[in-house]
Structure 1
Amino acid sequence: MKSGDARLAELFEEHRGRLRAVAYRMLGSLEEAEDAVQESWVRFAAAGVNGVQNLGGWLTTIVTRVCLNVLRAKAARPETLAGPRVPDPVLSPADGPTPEQEALLADSVGLAMLVVLDTLTPAERVAFVLHDVFDVPFGEIAPMLGRTPEASRQLASRARQRVRTAGTHEPDSTLAAQRAVIDAFFGAARAGDLATLVELLDPDVVLRTDGFVAGSALLRGADTVARATLGGAHPQAEFRPVVVNGVAGVLITLRGRPAGLMAFTIVAGRITAVDGITDPHRLRRLVAEQGLLDAPDQPGAPDQP
């Protein structure tokens, strides 16, 4: 017969995948999401299950409150960055995510969506993620936020409007179709073909790169993004196809070391958003943690081109 602690651990593990998915969308950080799940386990183990009728709902409430505390703490001391902060991506090989990653990305929101979620207030983000992504009723969301169901509905509605205004759309359905556009994009970049690059980009395309403060950038418009692509091309760069949050992307390496990551949102055959990470320390951590390359263990930035 299992001990009480062992039984609680078993029950928690049955819900861990969903809890990680909720926390990742709330926080936009894989590391912080894992910390939130662990904190939720500590609280759950202390509280037990006496009187709990809906265990999944109870655990979702616990992890939501943990995430809400993190979001409120961040809002109280906002970072000052010179450009956008691209959330942590979920990286997979070109043939698609692992079963564990698929669980994390169920009802996925891509990097472009996560960037928009970062602009919401903590309460708006919680209401939107729980209701619009995970179908949690407003009657259950309200106590987590200390609001009425109607107030929670209004928070989600404001968040939804921000998402729509930002122009996030469902990407083209197959990775093969997305990859064909990306291959054409890099082919045009190698050839210095500005006209083809512009044609492959949506007129309102947004390019966000998180290079940590000085290297961060936000560019808009097909011509601007195309010229920036040509200006930043490196003749020794190698491009490795990857899947980033369920959509096609590219890991850029120089002499075998990660130098950049690009996730493409492609709608109706055109690139509507590019989200990139070029901060070398963050890149090496993400790539090493998710096993895409045998990244060097030694600290320090990669060799400069």
Structure 2
Amino acid sequence: MTTTLADEFETHRPRLFSLAYRMLGSAEEAEDAVQDAYLRFSGADRTGIEHPAAWLAKVVTNLCLNRLTSARARREQYVGTWLPEPVVTADGALGPLESAEQRDAVSMAMLVLLERLTPTERAVYVLREAFGYGHREIAGVLDLSEGNCRQLYRRAVQRVGEPQARFEPASEQQEELVTSFITAAREGDLAGLEKLLAADATWWSDGGGKVIAARWPIEGGSRIAQFLAGGGPKFSVGLEFTVTEVNGATGLASWAGDTLVGLAALEVRDGLVVGVRAVVNPEKLAFARRQLSRA
């Protein structure tokens, strides 16, 4: 059977999407970058492409670098807390997440940390940590010297911290914890919520000014419990909740009928919720809606 150009590209698409998403923190923009890469691939002189995987990785990385400049300007004007677009990862959308370190690499927490980096630092860090590129390979992708790439990587690590597994991987116990969390919030059970939340827990909400959401982080388990218990009836009216994997962590999907209206990733440590990042901006849920509609 003859392999078409489109077929060949499709073999690379998952890896390219994973790269673009880590670079941009936006699933929608990552899809656009990958599609742009396909257009370039289809119009390129194939005799000059010795290694398609490397060629495409370079194209996607540079397309993302161009997009990051304008993205930073938009995020400076963003209303309230900015969070990455959530991705449902149970179906392997971001590649295999078999270890705690791999899950941490795509976590909402890590993607927020990557916002501290310059676009070039981010590219070096992602290529090195997520895709195992050597500094010489990274230099080829970014058209920089190997020494410069090493320096950029050191600077990136200083800004985001050493790569590590920061949170416990998803498990059946965590699913039970999330189910208990939903029940306590529905019932406005303040004491029940406080038992599930770490004392230093933090809640972030991203509504983007499109829907009602807390514009500033809520810090402290007791304050989060009061926030949720006080809104218990509002939390549950007309909504259904399901447990799903979000960015490698146990998460919570909120539904109004057949419409996904929120996705939250929960960070769990020592059996307690230490962080919740909830995205309710409808514009940031489009990709996840398509994922879950196929489930």
TM-score above 0.5: yes
**Whole-angstrom CA distance in 2 between matches of 1:240 and 1:28:** 24
TM-fit CA distance, 1:105: 6.0
Q: 1:34 to 1:231 in 2, by over 3 A?
A: same
**What SS class does the counterpart of residue 260 from structure 1 fall into?**
strand
- Measured at CA, do residues 181 and 288 of structure 1 come closer, stay the same or move farther in structure 2, by a change above 3 Å? closer
Query: SS where residue 78 of structure 2 aligns?
Result: coil
Deviation at 1:163, TM superposition (A): 2.8
Secondary structure in structure 2 of the residue aligned to 1:248: strand
> Within the alignment, does 1:16 sit opposite 2:20 as a pair?
no
Matched ranges for 1:1-305 at <5 A: 7-75=4-72, 78-91=75-88, 97-98=90-91, 101=93, 103=95, 107-108=102-103, 109-164=106-161, 169-213=165-209, 215=213, 216-233=215-232, 234=234, 235-236=236-237, 237-254=239-256, 257-283=259-285, 285-292=286-293
Within 1, Cα distance between the matches of 2:133 and 2:151? 15
Residue 14 of structure 1, CA deviation:
1.9
Q: 1:78 to 1:189 in 2, by over 3 A?
A: closer
Letter in 2 for 1:231: G
2: CA distance, partners of 1:114 / 1:160: 14
In the alignment, structure 2 segments of 5+ residues that lack a partner are: none
Give the aligned residue type for 2:280.
T
Aligned in 2, Cα 1:218/1:55: closer, same or farther, shift over 3 Å?
Answer: same
The code of the aligned residue for 1:134 comes to F
Q: Give the superposition deviation at 1:17.
A: 1.3
> Structure 2: how far apart are the matches of 1:143 and 1:162?
24
| 1:239 positional shift | 1.6
In structure 2, distance between residues paired with 1:20 and 1:173: 23
The one-letter amino acid paired with 1:178 is: Q
Question: For the Cα contact (< 8 Å) 2:86–2:279, is it kept in 1?
Answer: no
Q: How many residues align?
A: 284
In 2 relative to 1, CA 157–255 (structure 1 residues): closer, same or farther, beyond 3 Å?
same
| Runs (5+) with no aligned partner, structure 1 | 295-305
Secondary structure at the counterpart of residue 243 of structure 2: strand
TM-score (norm 1): 0.80
SS of 1:217's partner is coil
Measure how far apart 1:256 and its partner are.
5.4
The separation in 1 between residues aligned to 2:31 and 2:261, in whole angstroms, is 26
Pairwise CA distance, 1:7: 4.3
Displacement, 1:168? 7.9
How many Å apart are 1:225 and its aligned residue?
2.1
Pairwise CA distance, 1:12: 2.0
Checking the alignment, whether the CA contact within 8 Å between 1:112 and 1:168 is kept in structure 2 is: no
Overall identity of the aligned pairs, in %: 36
**Superposition CA RMSD, Å:** 3.0
Normalization by structure 2: what TM-score?
Answer: 0.82
Per the alignment, residue 298 of structure 1 pairs with none
Give CA deviations for 1:152-173 in whole Å, capped at 9, x if unaligned. 22322333333339x9844323
Aligned-partner Cα distance in 1 for 2:50–2:42: 16
SS at match of 1:290: helix
